Amino acid sequence: MLESNIKTVRNDMKALVEDAKELFREATSTSGIKAEELRAKGMDLLDNAMAKAQDLQAVAFEAGKDLADSADNYVQENPWKAIAVSAGVGLLIGLLIARK
């Protein structure tokens, strides 16, 4: 669910930025009222892109908090398992570093 939301927002962001780039390119070749309209529309697109990026950041932050909470609960409920897993990971990393 979270990954599909992230992909959707990422695709929307890319589309919005590309549309804004195209509008700004078009605005540079025109002048007068038409150029101002294109620039305003481009700025609106960029504002929408920033809003979507902030929404994505909020979703990622909440997902990170949930993950940290579940990890904390697991460690609280299974302290010896957590210590054993941490020691095993530390041992593997130590062996990998020592080989180099």
User: What would the pLDDT profile of 69-100 be if each residue is shown by its tens digit?
Assistant: 998 898 889 889 888 989 999 999 999 999 86
Give the residue numbers spanning the domain of 86.
2-99
Give the pLDDT of residue 1: 60
Number of domains within the chain? 1
The answer to whether 26 touches 38, Cβ cutoff 8 Å, is yes
User: What would the pLDDT profile of 37-72 be if each residue is shown by its tens digit?
Assistant: 877 777 787 788 788 778 888 888 888 899 899 988
The answer to whether 49 touches 16, Cβ cutoff 8 Å, is yes
Percent of the chain with pLDDT over 70: 95
Specify the DSSP class assigned to residue 32. T
Mutual orientation of helices 33-77 and 79-99 as an angle, nearest 10°? 110
Give the pLDDT of residue 48: 80
Give the pLDDT of residue 21: 77
